[in-house]
Amino acid sequence: MKLTSKIFNSHPSTDGDFFLGMKRILGFKPKNLEIFKTAFLHRSMNKKDDKGNPVNYERLEFLGDSMLGTIISKYLYNEVPEGDEGYLTKMRSKVVSRKHLNELGKDLGLLKYVESRIPKEHFGENIHGNVFEALVGAIYLDRGYAYCEKFIDERVIEPYVDIEQLEGKVISYKSLVIEWCQKEKKSFNYNVYEDTGNDELKHFAVKLTIGDRMLAKARATSKKKAEEKASKRAYFALQNRIENK
């Protein structure tokens, strides 16, 4: 263990920039630099450990997701004593939404540290949030719960979490539209089809029909995004009717 500690604390020149980058992002010195390297290792590198197990950021992402959810849950539990289970769950979902995590990853500039055989411009938006969660997992393994909580408090809660703003933030327009249709006993249908056209990336188009009226259509790089985009357009077309119910 002593030899290992010396290796990690020596920070050879090849690790110097990475170490300084992590120190800047974390606000403290990482102990085991290899854990943090793994947090930025994409599966396309095809690296394995001595037992032949894949080594990439995905397992750390799983751990970080759990830690993030736990710490945000604790914060909301203490901050909003009047909030019931449903309210707290909804608020937590807003804080740890994929869109929000992607924004956090971008703001911290995490993509530049990712080691991959895939050109970075070919990654989707979620790479930013995935690596952010992996980083949280690495912090937990390297320094434990207290440091993990400190990082999330300083990098997520203090700069981004505003209870009043979150209460008014829409997570899913699709959910709002479907809920309204069900309350009003209106039929709805999302007709999704592939619509690549001349684009190199695969695209999907969607037509949202409510009752017998085609209310909105949209196009995006995934079915989910196309449905959400169409739902948002439909929501604003129906906003007065939806919000007055």
Residue 197 belongs to domain spanning: 173-243
| Chain segment 154-188, per-residue pLDDT in tens | 988 988 888 777 777 777 888 889 988 998 999 99
Residue 214 φ then ψ, to 5°: -80, 105
Q: Are residues 89 and 115 in the same domain?
A: yes
Whether 133 sits among the annotated catalytic residues: the reply is yes
63: pLDDT strictly greater than 90:
yes
Q: Final residue of a domain: which of 112, 135, 167?
A: 167
Q: Are residues 41 and 149 in the same domain?
A: yes
Which of the listed ranges 9-13, 70-74, 236-240 does the model predict with the highest average pLDDT? Answer: 70-74
Question: What is d(CA 242, CA 238) in angstroms, rounded to the nearest whole number?
Answer: 6
61 is in an annotated binding site: yes
Q: Reduced to 3 states, what is the DSSP secondary structure of residue 233?
A: helix
Q: Are residues 105 and 89 in the same domain?
A: yes
46 is in an annotated binding site: no
Given the residues 65, 142, 149, 227, the one annotated as active site: 65
Q: Are residues 98 and 39 in the same domain?
A: yes
Q: Are residues 185 and 65 in the same domain?
A: no
| Chain segment 118-154, per-residue pLDDT in tens | 888 888 889 999 999 999 999 999 999 999 999 999 9
102 is in an annotated binding site: no
Q: Are residues 145 and 66 in the same domain?
A: yes
Structure tokens at 218: 């949209």
Which of the listed ranges 105-109, 156-160, 218-222 does the model predict with the highest average pLDDT? Answer: 105-109
Q: Are residues 183 and 153 in the same domain?
A: no
Given the residues 50, 133, 154, 158, the one annotated as active site: 133
pLDDT band at 12 (very low <50, low <70, confident <90, very high): very low
Give 245's DSSP letter.
-
The CATH number given to whatever domain includes residue 107 is 1.10.1520.10
Interior angle at CA 231, CA 228 and CA 236, nearest 5? 130
Q: Are residues 157 and 231 in the same domain?
A: no
